Amino acid sequence: MRRVLISVLTLVLALLLLSPAVAAPSPKDDIRKTVDQLLVILRDPQLKGTPRREKLSTVIRARFDFATMSQYTLGKYWKSASAEEQKQFIKLFSDLLEESYIGRIEAYSDETVHYGAERIEGERAEVATSVHTGNVEVPINYRLIRTGDGWYVYDVIVEEVSLIKNYRSSYGEIIRKEGFPRLLERMAEKIRDLRNGKAKPAGGG
């Protein structure tokens, strides 16, 4: 009797241990895990300043595919850029996206996130979420691409606006009018301003 019980328990334990490996995580699971981690960091009253930023950064960088995002943002200019320029762009663009993303979510620590439908097309997927803060509700959809073990974000769609296509429109104009090196310079300046908290609204602010 006891031996039977032990073998049943062993079997159950083995199944429990095995199951996460058997069921590959869905795009929704991956996004949920990342967003939950971000919210835990944001809601921790002990965490402030640089340590908090570093923690947020680690979580974001583990889920965002900045190389693909960079390639899509540059569009046709990606191919004409040298390997060195591409590398520089990826570095600057990931820093810039991270700074603006963190800047925005820091204001939203009281938010709750609702998860909607998940759509999978081959190696790509879209997960619908909506962020509720007080009285406003913002639809945010994540687009993900499957790479090996998991799903990685290549675009964020806020209120029907693709972040990547939006960046592409302004960066494309700057490249056309001022050239690629100047774009890189301006991105570096912006990152510095955001980090120093000096990026004031250009207008009357």
Binding site for another protein (CB under 8 A): 72, 75-76, 99-100, 103-104, 107-108, 119, 121, 124-126, 133-136, 143, 154-155, 159-162, 164-166, 168-174, 183, 186-187, 190, 194, 199-205
Rounded to a whole number of angstroms, the minimum distance from the CB of residue 56 to another protein is: 16
Q: Between 67 and 174, name the residue whose CB sits nearer to another protein.
A: 174
Q: Between 19 and 135, name the residue whose CB sits nearer to another protein.
A: 135
Contacts 24+ apart (CB under 8 A), 31-40: 31/63, 31/115, 31/127, 31/129, 31/142, 31/144, 31/151, 31/153, 32/115, 34/59, 34/60, 34/62, 34/63, 35/113, 35/129, 38/105, 39/109, 39/111, 39/113
Rounded to a whole number of angstroms, the minimum distance from the CB of residue 21 to another protein is: 27
Residues in CB range of 113: below 8 A, 6 or more apart: 35, 39, 129, 130, 131, 132
54 three-state secondary structure: helix
Rounded to a whole number of angstroms, the minimum distance from the CB of residue 12 to another protein is: 39
Q: Between 5 and 202, name the residue whose CB sits nearer to another protein.
A: 202
Beta bridge pairs of residue 138: 131
In angstroms, the CA 161 to CA 141 distance is: 10
Q: Between 35 and 125, name the residue whose CB sits nearer to another protein.
A: 125
Q: How many CB atoms lie within 10 A of CB 183?
A: 23
Rounded to a whole number of angstroms, the minimum distance from the CB of residue 199 to another protein is: 5
Q: Between 13 and 138, name the residue whose CB sits nearer to another protein.
A: 138
Rounded to a whole number of angstroms, the minimum distance from the CB of residue 93 to another protein is: 11
